[in-house]
Structure 1
Amino acid sequence: MKRYIFIIAALTALFLAGCSNDDERPIKTPIDPMTDIYGVVTDTQGNRLQGVVVSDGYTCTTTDENGVYQLTGNEFSYHVFLSIPETYEVPMGAGLPCFWQKLTEGRKRYDFTLTPLAGGAENEFNLFCIADPQCQNTTNIARFNNETVPDVAAQVAASTLPCYGITLGDIGWNTANTDYTNDVFPLMKKAMQQDKLGLPLFQVMGNHDNKVISVAKDKYTVAHDIAAQRNFELAFGPVNYSFNRGNVHIVAMDNIVFPNHNDYSLGFRDDQVAWLQQDLSYVSKDKMVILCVHIPMRANTGQNVQAVFDLLKPFAEVHIMSGHTHYAENNAYDSHYEHVHGAACGAWWHSTINTDGTPNGYAIYNIKGATITDWVYKATGFDPDYQIRLYRGSDIFMTGYTPNYQFHYNGDDQIVANIWNADKEWKIEVYENGTKTGEMLPYESSATKRDAWASGYHCGVQGRDPGNYDRKNTSHLYYYTLKSPSASVEVRATDRFGTTYTQSKYTTGLPEDFPVGE
């Protein structure tokens, strides 16, 4: 019995240390005396791999012709890790991507072994982006396990392409005074394993994934910011890293400056910008770069945000994947397209929708070469073609509850559609009794951009704080004035790729249409 306990303990220690596989392969390159992190990178056939990018999160280097890399660590170095080349499999450990090793005092050498992809680089693949699972307790985790996980797994199983995934932060849910990350992270690691989801799932850190460290703003230092990320790093590995698939370079970064729980902001430290500059220096400009972060970047002027935009601008195509808001939004900017994802937990697991009416869900991107050829927001528990919710503007949501709400356009002859994945390239047509009578228009800037059904349920039925649950800036609401209010209506929404989605059923404020969650 003692022997088995020892084996389990040894395996646990190995997992916590990262993906270690040192086997004392001969070092054929002289090691500089100033080097304090080095190793050999080979493939499973023993071939030494040249040109693999290796980093400690502060400095990047590449392996030489002997497969040897050398780094001089930073005072805050915590891991050494690879930027996984596109022609190799994602290394896995305990069901999660494991391309890193935790640095240990007194140890300098860290070797890595990569397995070649059988068919070489994958020119086409699917990328799943999951924002804000935000699980605080076992009830939340049970819903993630019972709703999100099997839904993702079914989509992966239905795909004929290789599939990879990444969360976009807020895996856990700390509060102002309590750090739940140590309790939640081990359970979420079990939920997100490859044998359950069907794909390797990488991680991004969110503001609620920080360890609670309170410090006055005028006392804040870089050391405080880094200390707050240690629980996440211990559980999931580096917070700033990259990997390659096909002709795409995918970067994950912590974009939260975090003096304390109630005083965080969008931004990057100077050392993060320096790391990104080095990381991107090894990437061909004809590649697409996908930057995965937690807080939406938009065209923000936060700390070093413009410096990051400047580094991304030279590449062939740039997409930013973010979450944080618990609502969905798609916007094209001068140099990039940003996808703000609805949360997997929606309105913090209190229903089956986000605060803007977007269903709990995640996005699936079809990537071919150096471009995204299609994407869909997949509502949890619904078919992929469920993309529209249709309302009569005259309805009140929810009658008999206080408060209740109506849409901004609420005439007897008006209809409203919430089309959560839409952007300016979508075409929204209305058919009355089978005949096209016009096109829906997006809400004007002066309109109150509220999904009355979502606000009516969260604030009226559940009695939640309108300050958090009555969303008034929804960018994907459309309206139309019917030619015949009594006509049979079908809305047809065609996305930028030519795929058409339809809806003819009205969602009402009646209990049978409530987005019941818990």
Structure 2
Amino acid sequence: ALGNHDMNYREGGDDTSDRTFKEFFGPTYYSFNRGKAHYVVMDDVRYLGVERTYDGHISEAQLNWLAKDLQHVRKEDLLIINLHIPVHNSIKNKEELYKVLEGFTNVHIMSGHTHYNVNNINNNIFEHNHGAVCGAWWAGQICSDGTPRGYGVYEVDGNDLKWYYKPTGISRAHQISLTVDTLTNQKRLLANVWNWDPKWKIEYELDGKNMGALEQQTGSDPQAVKLNAAGKPAKGRAFTKPTQTDHLFMAHFKPEVKQVKVIATDRFGNKYTQEISA
């Protein structure tokens, strides 16, 4: 899908900003079927006529086209929509898109742009906003929410979709990062489970004893905070500062605990573990 780095600036407005993209890659929105799944690619980056100035918006022409396109798709079929800017928090007319998608029961939106990883569920619409291969703009090995730089892997079987996040250069089994801090009379565990969604189960053990579920938190990943404090990103790239995320999980425990283990079970029953010495 066309992104904000794929546009021509200084050539007018949004209508002309995709000229080079179309010349080399073809249309900016289209659809196709593969097996039972229906795939849609859309352009949700609107150039505002001033260099590097844009917002998230889906044109009326695209929405009208999509409504007609989906007349040929069964409501229960797997529908995968690919675009650049995330819909759930950055598209100004997102409700118009959601209106077109009403009644479809198996919708997945694939987005990027943010350089962090988050899953958002809105009724029957599951949006996967992916971390970036370059992390926080090459400032380190992680994205701004602590997610390792990487990409999503998706497996389609008929109308069923399964997925996982693959960190670059690291095993697929690596799905959790752990930090232990020493506080007054206690220690604190913070687990970052970057591909979490509400159907995951996050538990922990202290010295081999199961302690149940961790408490979900919203905050900044400690490694992302440390990266920024270390002087990265350089050259005034303020947009790579740590971002708030809700895929953090916390517990407090006694100082005498020696070993901590976190077990994360995803919606497909896959178990991932990570241990750290306290």
**Same fold at TM > 0.5:** yes
Which AA in structure 1 matches 2:252? T
Question: Relative to structure 1, is the Cα distance of residues 418 and 310 closer, same or farther in structure 2, using a 3 angstrom cutoff?
Answer: same
Asked if residue 357 in structure 1 is aligned to residue 128 in structure 2, the reply is no
CA distance in 1, matches of 2:257, 2:61: 62
Asked if residue 439 in structure 1 is aligned to residue 206 in structure 2, the reply is no
Which AA in structure 2 matches 1:227? T
Paired position in structure 2 for 1:283: 73
Cα offset for 1:298?
Answer: 0.9
CA distance in 2, matches of 1:410, 1:379: 35
Cα offset for 1:458?
Answer: 3.3
Question: Relative to structure 1, is the Cα distance of residues 334 and 358 closer, same or farther in structure 2, using a 3 angstrom cutoff?
Answer: same
Please say if residues 392 and 410 of structure 1, whose CA atoms lie closer than 8 Å, have aligned partners that are also in contact.
Answer: no
Q: What count of residue pairs does the alignment treat as equivalent?
A: 276
Instruction: Name the SS of the counterpart of 2:87 in structure 1.
Output: coil
TM-score by length of 2: 0.91
Please say if residues 58 and 91 of structure 2, whose CA atoms lie closer than 8 Å, have aligned partners that are also in contact.
Answer: no
Instruction: Name the SS of the counterpart of 1:475 in structure 2.
Output: strand
The correspondence of residues 237-256 of structure 1 with structure 2, limited to 5 A, is 237-256=26-45
Paired position in structure 2 for 1:474: 245
Asked if residue 208 in structure 1 is aligned to residue 1 in structure 2, the reply is no
Instruction: Give structure 2 stretches of 5+ with no counterpart.
Output: none
Paired position in structure 1 for 2:170: 382
TM-score by length of 1: 0.50
Question: Relative to structure 1, is the Cα distance of residues 306 and 285 closer, same or farther in structure 2, using a 3 angstrom cutoff?
Answer: same
Output the aligned Cα RMSD: 2.2
Identity of aligned residues (%): 37
Asked if residue 455 in structure 1 is aligned to residue 225 in structure 2, the reply is yes
Q: Which moved more, 1:269-278 or 1:462-471?
A: 462-471
Paired position in structure 2 for 1:423: 197
Please say if residues 207 and 257 of structure 2, whose CA atoms lie closer than 8 Å, have aligned partners that are also in contact.
Answer: no
Higher alpha-carbon Rg: 1
Cα offset for 1:497?
Answer: 1.3
Please say if residues 413 and 485 of structure 1, whose CA atoms lie closer than 8 Å, have aligned partners that are also in contact.
Answer: no
Please say if residues 178 and 189 of structure 2, whose CA atoms lie closer than 8 Å, have aligned partners that are also in contact.
Answer: yes
Return the match for 1:233 from 22, 25, 28. Answer: 22
Return the match for 2:263 from 474, 478, 492. Answer: 492
Paired position in structure 2 for 1:97: none
Instruction: Name the SS of the counterpart of 1:209 in structure 2.
Output: coil
Please say if residues 432 and 484 of structure 1, whose CA atoms lie closer than 8 Å, have aligned partners that are also in contact.
Answer: no
1:132-158 Cα distance to aligned partner (Å, 9 max, x none): xxxxxxxxxxxxxxxxxxxxxxxxxxx
CA distance in 1, matches of 2:47, 2:125: 26
Question: Relative to structure 1, is the Cα distance of residues 261 and 248 closer, same or farther in structure 2, using a 3 angstrom cutoff?
Answer: farther
Question: Relative to structure 1, is the Cα distance of residues 323 and 313 closer, same or farther in structure 2, using a 3 angstrom cutoff?
Answer: same
In proportion to residue count, which structure has more strand?
A: 2
Paired position in structure 1 for 2:115: 326
1:214-238 Cα distance to aligned partner (Å, 9 max, x none): 76xxxxxxxx212101111122221
Please say if residues 342 and 354 of structure 1, whose CA atoms lie closer than 8 Å, have aligned partners that are also in contact.
Answer: yes
Please say if residues 9 and 51 of structure 2, whose CA atoms lie closer than 8 Å, have aligned partners that are also in contact.
Answer: yes
Q: Which has the higher contact order (CA 8 A, sep 6+)?
A: 2
Paired position in structure 2 for 1:503: 274
CA distance in 2, matches of 1:456, 1:383: 24
Cα offset for 1:379?
Answer: 0.2
Instruction: Name the SS of the counterpart of 2:195 in structure 1.
Output: coil
Question: Relative to structure 1, is the Cα distance of residues 330 and 261 closer, same or farther in structure 2, using a 3 angstrom cutoff?
Answer: farther
